Amino acid sequence: MIRVLSVASECAPLIKTGGLADVVGALPAALAGEGVEMRVLLPGYPAVLAAARDFDRVLDVPDLFGGPARLLAGKAVGLSLFVLDAPHLYDREGGPYLDAAGRDWADNDMRFAALSWMGARIGAEGAEGWRPDVVQAHDWQAGLTPLYLKAGGFELPTVMTVHNIAFHGLMPPERTERLGLPGWAFQPEGMEYYGQVSALKAGLVYAWKVTTVSPTYARELRTPEFGEGLDGVIRARGADVLGVLNGIDEGIWNPATDPDIAPYKQPRGKSAARRALIAETGLPEGDGPLCVVVSRMTGQKGLDLLLEALPGLLARGGRLALLGSGEPALEEAWRAAADRYAGVAVRIGYDEALAHRLIAGGDAILVPSRFEPCGLTQLYGLRYGTVPVVARTGGLADTVIDANPAALAAGVATGIQFTPVTAQALGTALDRLCDLYAQPKVLERIQRNGMRAPVGWGASAAAYAALYAGMLAQT
């Protein structure tokens, strides 16, 4: 049995802002079948502490970056958890990263350095009689973990997993002493990034191995276009950088048992879910496909491109239902689109049950991202017979088989890809979707292919288990 500590800033279903939480929440169960015992370390946000009421207190820290903290341990929502209860850092209204006004918490550097510090301490000393063989850090919020271990002289195998390289976790260099970071690491070959400290870069440099969440994204990160200023670091790590494709929890995302929708097993069962979705959103009937979007509303996600392409979709009888939140300008633009077009319904915010109903009832799910490390919504779409229309980038390119003539002739297509990532190319992809919608038998074949596609964690869990075992063999 290999013991792995997973250090992360969010974990479904306890606390979630995006796909990171889904992955962190699904990995422990997926890896259990591979002989891996994974425990997750989370910050003690109010929602997490509510689930940890009966946890044991296993460690006290009198002063952790400005206040007392304690480590709690126990099981909740089917997960073995460690929770860092530090009220001065996490007990506050708002989200895990932003305050109620949508601004970054001013002390995010200390909040997540504390998480990394505790991850390193558990790695070095263990807790509750349990000591990990490997520590896996997720994104910049846990990026200092490998550095804290190295600075303490502990040669414990570590994995830095990049879910989105766009967020670096930058902080001023004068924070290093307060956070107990070694001065020798503040250099271009270490954690220094254009005069600041980058928590993500620290993880990329000092972890034993670096993983990303899809093979294509791993290749893209080696280029200036996608590397966000860290492409040189990625290239320097060479073969230590691996792309391991994300999966989804097929127990939660299962159209036959999903409590949020009327159960169905075949694409033909979508008609009831589709009618229910039209009724719920107030959209009119139409001659074209019912498209759905479940997304953060940021520039990365390409929703501005979809706004440009929207009139063409509506002109062909298509409709669109969108669920998401994010940048105020995009939220306002989509509210205006809903006011202008009868065929557009918009819900600003996030509602997990509604997300399930949208994906169950839609004919197609649109993911026009400018870059996408892996993406999960297209996998949900495949599982539910909702045809993904995706940009050919990152994990979207790895998980959707384009309905080009060769793929259609071979009977293997599962969706539609487009490139370049422009409004014009997206418009062409939506035209192709409308053409397929007018051919019900062809569309049903694509839906059925998607529902049979491997979207779970089987192969990826085996890849992670092999990675852990390979590192341990080096110790």
Task: Note the Cα 259 to chain centre separation in Å.
Answer: 23
Residues with Cβ within 8 Å of residue 161, at least 6 apart in sequence:
136, 137, 138, 139, 210, 211, 212, 213
Alpha helices (runs of H) in 328-439, residue ranges in sequence order: 328-340, 352-361, 377-383, 394-399, 405-410, 423-437
**Packed helices 303-315 and 328-340: angle between N→C axes, nearest 10 degrees:** 10
The answer on whether 16 is annotated among ligand-binding residues is yes
DSSP character for 240? G
HSE at residue 226, side-chain half, CA atoms within 13 A, is 20
Nearest in space to 321 (alpha carbons), one of 332, 310, 308: 310
DSSP line for 37-71 = EEEEEEE--HHHHHHTTTPEEEEEES-SSSS-EEE
DSSP line for 122-161 = HHHH-BTTB--SEEEEETGGGTTHHHHHHHTT----EEEE
Binding site: what residues are annotated?
Answer: 16
Binding site for ADP-alpha-D-glucose: which residues?
16
